[in-house]
Each structure stands twice: as structure tokens, then as C-alpha cells.
Amino acid sequence: MARITRSVDFSLKGYLLQAYLIGRNASGTDSPIKGELIKFNKGLGSHGNRSKSGMVAAIMADSAKLTLDGNEYELPIVVGSENEKAIDIGKLRAESGYVTIDGGYKNTGACYSSITYLDGEQGILRYRGYAIEDLAEKAEFLEVAYLIIYGTLPTPTEYDTFKKDIRRHSIIHEDMRHFFDGFPSSGHPMSILSSMVCSLSAYYPDSLDADPTDDLQITRLLSKIRTIVAFGYKKSIGHPAMYPRNDLSYCGNFMHMMFANPAEPYEPDPEIVKAINTLLILHADHEQNCSTSTVRLVGSSNANLYAAVSAGILALWGPLHGGANQAVIEMLQEIQDSGGDYKGFMEKVKDKSSGVRLMGFGHRVYKNYDPRAKVLKAMADKLLPHLKVEDPLLDIAKNLEAIALEDPYFVQRNLYPNVDFYSGIVYRALGIPVNMFTVMFALGRLPGWIGQWREMMQDPGRKIGRPRQIYTGENARAFVSLADR
């Protein structure tokens, strides 16, 4: 029987240790407060002041005791900069022979990270300390991308250089353009996106090195992904590809490649560009979710950035993850097509035997209203009238939400709207086809995947990701030859 005890006053210790962190950052000297610094994450990049991203990620503070088969093991306790606590089991198997098991990694911290802080109970989301609400309202997507990847908001000079680098790489290799001819026009854009991103590594063999200090592969990817997405869309509707216009902003250029055609002039609507900018910021990172963990896992083998991101795109595709935005609209459409009986639909959701879920609701980490969903709901209310779009699906969504926020089934399980509940309504209003919603999510999440990959690759203690298992199969048995079976 295993027993874990610990006797640390976390709130007090956390407070003191925070003071220690600040003291260390400011003066660069050690503090006498008990607790051992366990990680310094130095930003190694070459771009401007990126080294400022280096910060103390966590410290070791006291320990927990685990009793197993009569032996006592001391397990270090680590505390993050927001007082998040963990028991470090890094030496557990070597010392005791035991591993831990945690289906879905619900209790497992896989890394230290200084990129995103998420408090699911309070509904707080911050990138590098900045509130998502502030960034969504005041920042440009590329500023946020820089922040996530390199650790600080760029200075004007750094931002100019970053944008210039990104602009320069907007065109894809002409041979790659022919790939789109090989895909069926009905092919799902996520499969095309993943294949195309992976094939960038064939065109840029220098990226095979998986070097996190090589900014070129990062800017290339940030720039070309828009072109890939837009070319794929144009191909699917039988329109000629629109080449990028580098005089436009990042989001404006994307809109141009998506919606312009060679026969007419096109200037992107600033309100639409702003909306796309905000949507991308809201999706830019979300700490160790399924796709980001996939990027880290693939990257941990030293596979190149494009391969790791391509794998992340595929993980995002699933309807329990980024694919939920498409699933939400399909669900709302189905309710509308069957006469708009949203109350009856909610009864089905609560009946577990139906297997029906309220898509866009619930989250592994948020047990409160997803702050991104709040921004998106307000955006839908403002943007749809501006675009003169009346979408009956928005009313259905609001009705479903109103029921869910009162219904004990949802209240008891802390199920609230997540980022995908309203994003699809906004994408629809912007003219983005439903099967491209998850592609838009990927476009937004790219800086997060890159930043998390880069952080991992710069971690001097990095190890290949390789979980253990508890084997439940047959014990050793003799081989039976084919004739005797």
C-alpha cells in the first residue's frame, strides 16, 4: 500500500519562494530562503533581446514522503512561479521499481514552461504574463507570436525586423504549388495542411537539423503556412491561386490570398482583418494541450520543426480538440435542420446512452467560463451586425448556452462554453468554409507550437519523450507452429 505525506505550508512557502524568484531575477544572486533552484531556462535565440525570456521556471521546495512495501522514498516538491505545485517523481522507478499511471495525463506535468499560464478554476489565461483579454484587444497577432516564441513583446525595431523576415518568405516553392493538383478537391484541408507543412522539410533540408536558434525556419513556417492554407482553399473551389501581397499585413495578406481573384480589385475589410487578428491571438497558445504535447513529443526525438508541427496539426484535427469548432457548427446546423428543437437536443446530451455531447462545451482544464469564449461571444455580437449577417445558428447557440448554465447536469460537472463554441459562428460570418475552421485554429496555434518546441529544444535537461506502461497481456508462453494451431 502506498502512502504519500507532506508537511509544507504551500501558500506561505509559495509566497517566500516567489520573493526568492524576484530577488534572483533582479540581482542575479542566490537567496538564503530554503529551496533549491532546479531550472534556469535561458533563451538562446539570436533575435534582439530574446535572452530576456530566460527566467526561473520552478524551484524545489521540501519534499513528499512515499511509503511503498515498507520503504520510505523522499520525493521533491516543485513550485512554479504562480505557486503551482508538483511532486517530482523523476527518480521513482530507479529507486523503487514503481512507475505511476495516469490515463489521459490528467495529473501529470510533462515539462516546465514559462510561456502560458492557465488557471482553469478561475478562468485565467495569460501568455508570458499578459492577460489574453488585453492581448486580444490591443496587440497584433505577429507581436503575440514574437512574445510567445521569444519571451518578450518586441521593441519597434525588433518587430520591424520580424515582420520583414516574415514578409520575405510568403511565397512557397513553385513545385509545391503542384502538390495541390494531386489532392482531390474534396480532400479535408487539415490533411492537406499537415502534408504540406511536413513537405517543407523536403524543400528546406537545412531545417532537418532541428536547431531552435535558427530563426529562419521559424519565420519561413509562420509565413508560408498562410499561403499553403489559402492555395489549398483556392484549389478546392477551382479558383486560381492568388500570390501573396507583401504590402498587406499578415492577416490582410491572408484574406487577400483567400478571397481576392485576379479579375477584380480587392482590399480586405479592416474590420474583418481585425477579427482574424483577434481570432488568431485567442488561439495562439494553450500550454500542454493534445496537439502541443504532440509537437513536443515528436520534437523530443530531434525530428525537425516542420515534422513536429505537422504532427501537431493532425492531433488538433480531432473533434475533441480543435476539430470541435467544425463539429459545433455541424451540431447547430443539425438542430436547425430538424426544426430548431434545442431543448430536445439538450435532453439527448444529458442521456449518456445517446453518446451525444454538447460540442464546444467542457474542457479538461477550464472548470469555469473559458476567457476566450467570452471574447468570441462579444465579437460575434459586434461583428455579425457589421457584416449584415443574421445567423440563426447564433441564436441556437445562445439558447443552448442559457440552458446549460442553469442545468444541474452541466453545473455539477463545471461544463462551460470553450473557445470552439462561438468561434465557428464568427468564421462562418467571415466567409470561411466550415471544413476550414480547424485550419484557422492551426494558423493561430502555430506560434504556440513553435514556442513550445523551441523552449523544449533549449532545455539542457531535455529527454526523448517515452512514457512507461503497465503490461496487461499474456505471460510468457511457448510458440505454437502454424500446423498445430
Q: SS3 breakdown of the chain: % helix, strand, coil, rounded to 5?
A: 55, 10, 35
Shortest reach from residue 413's CB to ligand CMC, in Å: 4
Instruction: Choose the binding region for ligand CMC from 11-19, 48-56, 211-219, 362-370 (rule: CB under 6 A).
Output: 362-370
* Binding mask of the shown chain, residues 77 to 116, with x at each position contacting ligand CMC by CB under 6 A: ---------------------------x------------
Q: Does 321 bind ligand CMC (CB under 6 A)?
A: yes
Residues 248 to 287 in contact with ligand CMC, rule: CB under 6 A: 286
Ramachandran region of residue 386, left (φ > 0), alpha (ψ -120 to 50) or beta?
A: alpha
Residue 429 class from Cβ within 10 Å (0-12 exposed, 13-18 middle, 19+ buried)? buried
Give the one residue of 359, 376, 394, 432 binding ligand CMC; rule: CB under 6 A: 359
β partners of residue 78: 60, 86
Of 372, 134, 171, 388, nearest to 269 (Cα)? 388
Please, which residue, 81 or 289, has the CB nearer to ligand CMC? 289
# residues contacting ligand CMC (CB under 6 A): 21
Instruction: Choose the binding region for ligand CMC from 114-122, 188-196, 205-213, 418-426 (rule: CB under 6 A).
Output: 418-426
Instruction: Choose the binding region for ligand CMC from 108-116, 151-159, 198-206, 357-365 (rule: CB under 6 A).
Output: 357-365
User: What b/e sequence results for 359-390 when a residue is b if at least 16 CB atoms lie within 10 Å of its CB, and e otherwise?
Assistant: bbbbbebbbeebbbbbbbbebbeebbeebebe
d(CA 274, CA 167): 19
Instruction: Choose the binding region for ligand CMC from 86-94, 131-139, 144-152, 416-424 (rule: CB under 6 A).
Output: 416-424
Shortest reach from residue 238's CB to ligand CMC, in Å: 32
All three cell numbers of 198, joined, read 511536413
* Annotated catalytic residue 363: yes
Q: Of residues 285, 391, 420, 459, which has the active-site annotation?
A: 420
Residues 419 to 478 in contact with ligand CMC, rule: CB under 6 A: 419-420
Instruction: Choose the binding region for ligand CMC from 20-28, 231-239, 316-324, 384-392 (rule: CB under 6 A).
Output: 316-324
Shortest reach from residue 161's CB to ligand CMC, in Å: 32
Shortest reach from residue 324's CB to ligand CMC, in Å: 4
Please, which residue, 173 or 364, has the CB nearer to ligand CMC? 364
Phi, psi of 104, rounded to the nearest 5 degrees? 70, 10
Q: Of residues 363, 370, 391, 459, which has the active-site annotation?
A: 363
Phi, psi of 391, rounded to the nearest 5 degrees? -110, 110
Q: Does 375 bind ligand CMC (CB under 6 A)?
A: no
Please, which residue, 255 or 335, has the CB nearer to ligand CMC? 335
Instruction: Kindly report the three-state secondary structure assignment for every residue of 301-366.
Output: CCCCHHHHHHHHHHHHHCCCCCCHHHHHHHHHHHHHHCCCCHHHHHHHHHCHHHCCCCCCECCCCC
Amino acid residing at 107: N
Which residues are identified as catalytic?
Answer: 363, 420
Binding site for ligand CMC (CB under 6 A): 104, 286, 289, 320-322, 324, 349, 357-364, 413, 415, 418-420
